[in-house]
Amino acid sequence: MTTTSPQTLNARLGVREGANPEAQKLDSFPLFDWLRIVLASVVALGHQGMPPIGPITGHLSVIVFLALSGWLIGGILLQTSIRELPRFFFNRVTRTWIPYAFAIALGVLAAVLARDFPGWYEGSAVRLAIWALTVLAFVILWNYEMPPMRAIFAVLLVQSLAISGPRDRVGMFFGAVSYPFYLNHWMGAFLVNGIVNNVVAMPPVVSIPIAFVISLGAGIVTWAMIDRWVMRDRNAWYGRKLGIKLGIAAYALVVIGLIGGNIIRLYGG
């Protein structure tokens, strides 16, 4: 498979890096593109009813996603000056919130439909050592229920796949669509469950792959509609003051979530 520079790939995918300083702060890690789509697929298949394969579950995939985000965002932060922090917060918010808001809007619409139409929706040596530890952690997870080991495995898996090199076009595409696929994979289950419950019965061996394909298609469509547009145009939207405001808003929401969550937990609201 031929490889291409990240700049050329970005151009082909409709992403204009422009003056974005973050684009040059990390090496390319092509395996991360494939890791993203695998993780999103595991989450989607799990929500569509596929039984777990040993410790391979949607929960574990989310933990690996968090470890991967920590690796990438942490790597960017280590090379980011205080003056560049507004750009950092701006990029995080635009990349995350806009597609997330779209997914939430779709979810609210689906909830309204589900309310009005009940039953429609259901719910080197060092590297070799790291690889060996990753395999060992996975074997432990396969044989024993040890929640802390999930986090250890997640960090080891990300570390073991952090191999710099050129990214290929196919991998970069699937890496790009993994986030909207992850957010919107419920659509496949929504449609297929509606068909199974109201039109024609299908065994899980048929319904789950169909739901997966529909969900992946929905992820690709929403990436083309939302994510691709955001990544292409966000440099034109950027302003230092806006970046500062979004950074403050992001941390404020975290604080609100922590306080609100603890109130609900303590008082059973």
Domain boundaries, the chain: 6-236, 239-269
Question: What are the angstrom distances between the C-alpha of 58 and each of 44, 63, 89, 216?
Answer: 8, 9, 28, 16
Q: Which residues pair with 56 in a beta bridge?
A: 53
Digit-coded pLDDT (tens) for 214-251? 899 988 998 888 888 888 888 888 888 989 998 899 88
Q: What is the pLDDT of residue 121?
A: 38
Q: Which residue has the tokens 């939302």?
A: 226
Most confident of 5-19, 29-43, 116-130: 29-43
| Distance between start and end Cα atoms, the chain | 55
Question: What are the angstrom distances between the C-alpha of 192 and each of 48, 158, 200, 208?
Answer: 9, 33, 10, 8
Q: What is the pLDDT of residue 163?
A: 79
Strands (E), the chain: none
CB under 8 Å to 225, separation ≥6 — which residues?
A: 102
Q: What are the φ/ψ torsions at residue 185 (nearest 5 degrees)?
A: -70, -15
Q: What is the pLDDT of residue 119?
A: 46
pLDDT band at 11 (very low <50, low <70, confident <90, very high): low
Residue 56's SS3 state is strand
Size (the chain), residues: 269
Residue 53's SS3 state is strand
Residue 63's SS3 state is helix
Q: Which residues of 6-38 are buried (b: 16+ CB within 10 A; e: fewer)?
A: beebbeebebebeebebeebbebbbbbbbbbbe
For every residue of 233-251, DSSP letters joined together read: HHHHH--HHHHHHHHHHHH
Q: What is the pLDDT of residue 18?
A: 47
Token code pair at residue 244:
């500062």
Digit-coded pLDDT (tens) for 74-112? 788 778 888 888 888 887 787 777 777 776 776 676 667
d(CA 84, CA 210): 45
Handedness of CA 68, 50, 134, 37 (dihedral sign): negative
Digit-coded pLDDT (tens) for 127-170? 888 889 889 988 988 888 777 778 788 888 888 888 778 888 89
Q: What is the pLDDT of residue 80?
A: 80
Which carries the bigger pLDDT value, residue 73 or residue 1?
73
In percent, the amount of the chain with pLDDT more than 90 equals 4
Question: What are the angstrom distances between the C-alpha of 256 and each of 5, 108, 252?
Answer: 42, 22, 6
Residue 44's SS3 state is helix
Q: Which residue has the tokens 């040890």?
A: 146
Query: In the predicted model, is pLDDT for residue 20 greater than 60?
Result: no
Contact 29, 170 (CB under 8 A): no
Residue 200's SS3 state is coil
Q: Quick one: how far is CA 223 from the chain centroid?
A: 12
Rounded to the nearest integer, the mean pLDDT of the chain is 79
d(CA 197, CA 94): 38
Which carries the bigger pLDDT value, residue 39 or residue 199?
39
